[in-house]
Chains A and B, each alone.
Chain A
């Protein structure tokens, strides 16, 4: 179920005082190595569980353990998002469910042009999960928050019986503030816009798939999960961005169709312009997957005013996560369709992927 997780480096919850013995059950409530149903009961075990997690984030608001966090937010528009993370396996090359949860939420906010302010996270934990795994997720999340410059200010934990959750599910909510004058939305694309992609596609999906039971292949690639808000800010300062989307589930194929549909435009992308890293292309070959349908977690597409395209591209390339930003296509008149111009110069539509990525064999 899990792979190697980063070594816990945060402060472990101190175990102080005499060993607790409940009069109704003589067995000491000492923390074992596994999450138990009791950890979700709201009593001492829950407090112990929370006590392991909270200090890792070093956030004073979180540490208050109040029913809700209170924040000072700048005046203006807020962006508000929610997301759920159920990735299997929990850890994969380049990250785990914790870092993914942070970056995924931050990026949802970033796609609206917002600067992320704060996150809340709820953990649904399966009875029997190794506490060391939970520690690892918390450490990973805390590190991701630091890297993204965002605070985790509220949280919740629940424990469900064995079999009811794949180890751990994480749900998040995030708020961000949208600077004045920034208007970005999927419905704002216009014919003539240029399609930019900030980097290689399909990386996260292949990294995760390589670790999934039954697939078992080694690939020289780590998940590209990374925060994108600084990339977005740089792009917004450089030119007129109409729409932004990060190709997570469903990959580029899904988001381009979403954008085309929301704006009522056609989009044409050049197969030769897409950046597909060698190992991703190779893994897709082996499994019979289309790289356009594979998730990425560290790249985004932007539909920008044609006069701004070069400036935005330059601004992106100056950012670490945007080093391989490229112009990949253009927006045309409706109806809403997405096409790919193949290597051979032929066109084929890019359709929304139907569902679960089922590797082909034949």
Chain B
């Protein structure tokens, strides 16, 4: 595949890894923010070719992972309603809610359908006017435009049976929380290339300035990731902290103005709880009042308050303070067949990524010892 294979070329990848080794003078800890980047790192075994002095900590970049229990529970409740068709991305089907997931709701008779795009959900609403179609809108700013377009399209077609349950989240507030934590270990960030394709770089420059941390906008293929790591490490070695774009074939400084305009018309930043990280101020996107008629929470009731399950250490994993294979539950109480939390469910969750790469359980530099801290806002 063109524009994919070139960036998977092993010769280029190994040459980049050698360059990184040549540039390194001391160890550095970087965080790749996006679950898609984690997936590639683990699938290709990039950490096996990276010098050991570069530590990659997995960030909270998995919208599936950070969807809190009470939101999944709300989706399950809505999906179980007669006459409702809940449309969801495939990744969400096995994420555990309180005591059930959407797959179980479907087995019990709920009309849960996997869609590839929110626009497919609009198609279902249009084709089946007797159904109330609810789009379970999960994702970062990359996915939110698709949801926004689906609503614009639903309005254009005059549909009255299409609703959105918005669980969209925004990346920058999460980065603030992570970098602002007193025990933060992350020294450089690989920013999510497709989020930035939509949003551009404007929101990241203030983070660079405030925390004096290099942020490199990075793509998703092995060559992209290694280029991003090389750029980040080079900055760190040279004592610089700048916003850099290493995914120029997709990311422009201003992002995608049309997509951003659609977002602005439909959504506004709202406070949002992230699983394991507490409530992040303006950490989510909610439907504007003007779109109340399409808001699933207006129709079925607001999502209730929630707190985290004590056994799952997703919060520590998502904040980069616990490596998945260092969690006491990893591989024992928590496996893909019976996940305690979302990072083990989604193929991009840090824990699932480690599981599928067959990491044995062993302690590492990122280990947090002792009892699980009380989940609370930070």
User: Does B143 count as interface, using CB distance less than 8 angstroms?
Assistant: yes
Known contacts A288-B347, A360-B90; A342/B44 CB under 8 A: yes
A362–B357 contact, CB under 8 A? no
Among A215, A285, A346, A351, the residue within 8 A (CB) of B46 is A346
Which residues of A in the span 307-362 have a Cβ within 8 Å of any Cβ on B?
337, 339, 342-349, 351, 354, 356, 358-362
User: Does B376 count as interface, using CB distance less than 8 angstroms?
Assistant: no
Chain B residues near A349 (CB, 8 Å)?
356-358
Number of interface residues of A (CB under 8 A): 27
Chain A residues near B14 (CB, 8 Å)?
344-345
A347 to B47, CA, bound (A): 11
A343 to B226, CA, bound (A): 15
Which residues of A in the span 201-249 have a Cβ within 8 Å of any Cβ on B?
214-216
A216 to B123, CA, bound (A): 12
User: Does A65 count as interface, using CB distance less than 8 angstroms?
Assistant: no
B4–A285 contact, CB under 8 A? yes
User: Does A282 count as interface, using CB distance less than 8 angstroms?
Assistant: yes
A337 to B64, CA, bound (A): 30
Among B49, B89, B346, the residue within 8 A (CB) of A345 is B49
Q: Which residue of A lies closest to B346 (CB)?
A: A362
User: Does B336 count as interface, using CB distance less than 8 angstroms?
Assistant: yes
A185 to B113, CA, bound (A): 40
For the complex formed, measure the closest distance between the CB of B87 and the CB atoms of chain A, giving whole angstroms.
9
Q: Which residue of A lies closest to B88 (CB)?
A: A361
Chain B residues near A347 (CB, 8 Å)?
45, 48
A234 to B205, CA, bound (A): 65
User: Does B114 count as interface, using CB distance less than 8 angstroms?
Assistant: yes
A361 to B118, CA, bound (A): 11
For the complex formed, measure the closest distance between the CB of B138 and the CB atoms of chain A, giving whole angstroms.
7
Which residues of A in the span 255-289 have a Cβ within 8 Å of any Cβ on B?
278, 281-282, 285, 287-288
User: Does B305 count as interface, using CB distance less than 8 angstroms?
Assistant: no
A344–B48 contact, CB under 8 A? yes
Q: Which residue of B lies closest to A347 (CB)?
A: B45
Q: Name, among B94, B337, B347, B355, the residue most crowded by chain A CB atoms within 10 Å (CB to CB).
A: B347
For the complex formed, measure the closest distance between the CB of A197 and the CB atoms of chain B, giving whole angstroms.
20
A196 to B42, CA, bound (A): 26
Chain B residues near A346 (CB, 8 Å)?
44-46, 48-49
Chain B residues near A337 (CB, 8 Å)?
358
Which residues of B in the span 58-110 have a Cβ within 8 Å of any Cβ on A?
62-64, 89-91, 93-94, 103
Q: Name, among B91, B103, B348, the residue most crowded by chain A CB atoms within 10 Å (CB to CB).
A: B91
A362–B93 contact, CB under 8 A? no
User: Does B228 count as interface, using CB distance less than 8 angstroms?
Assistant: no
For the complex formed, measure the closest distance between the CB of A230 and the CB atoms of chain B, giving whole angstroms.
34
Q: Which residue of A lies closest to B93 (CB)?
A: A358
User: Does B260 count as interface, using CB distance less than 8 angstroms?
Assistant: no
13 A-B contact pairs sorted by A residue (CB < 8 Å): A216-B116, A278-B1, A285-B4, A288-B347, A344-B45, A344-B49, A345-B10, A345-B45, A345-B49, A348-B357, A349-B356, A362-B89, A362-B139
Chain B positions within 8 Å of A, measured between CB atoms, are 1, 4, 8, 10, 13-14, 35-36, 42-46, 48-49, 62-64, 89-91, 93-94, 103, 113-117, 120, 138-140, 143, 222, 336-337, 346-348, 355-358
